[in-house]
Amino acid sequence: DAGVIQSPRHEVTEMGQEVTLRCKPISGHDYLFWYRQTMMRGLELLIYFNNNVPIDDSGMPEDRFSAKMPNASFSTLKIQPSEPRDSAVYFCASTTRTGGPQPQHFGDGTRLSIL
């Protein structure tokens, strides 16, 4: 059974460029979360979706960040324009609440470096 799949694993780009991170949740999971991990702030929730609909985007740092979930099997997190302070590891996670709360399953993360 495939887990949460994120791509790319690593991304290095220059300041000002557009960055797109991708996530494929586990089939059947109806919740999808985007998290960011930095040394200074640890892990933080950016946004989450339920049934492809954004529920809480209060963690999105600013308008340069946007996230979409066009269907149940795909989500993107976009940064435009990117800045050096966006350098972090970005994790996607998915879960379902069928039958009650369930653990979240995390992807391997995308390590993003903005030069």
Partner 1 sequence: KNEVEQSPQNLTAQEGEFITINCSYSVGISALHWLQQHPGGGIVSLFMLSSGKKKHGRLIATINIQEKHSSLHITASHPRDSAVYICAVAGGADGLTFGKGTHLIIQP
Neighbours of 71 (CB within 10 A): 8
Report the nearest approach of partner 1 to the CB of residue 106 (Å): 4
Minimum Å distance from CB 81 to partner 1?
26
- 3-state SS track over the chain: CCCCEEECCEEEECCCCCEEEEEECCCCCCEEEEEEEECCCEEEEEEEEECCEEEECCCCCCCCEEEEEEECCEEEEEECCCCHHHCEEEEEEEECCCCCCCCCEECCCEEEEEC
Q: In the bound complex, what is the minimum distance in angstroms from residue 16's beta carbon to partner 1?
A: 28
- Shortest distance, position 11 Cβ to partner 1, whole Å: 16
Q: Which is nearer to partner 1, 50 or 80 (CB)?
A: 50
If the CB atoms of residues 27 and 50 are measured against partner 1, the closer one turns out to be 50
Q: Which residues bind partner 1 (CB under 8 A)?
A: 31, 33, 35, 42-45, 48, 50, 55-56, 59, 91, 93, 97, 101-109
User: Judged by CB, which is closer to partner 1: 43, or 115?
Assistant: 43
Comparison of 17 and 50: residue with beta carbon closer to partner 1? 50
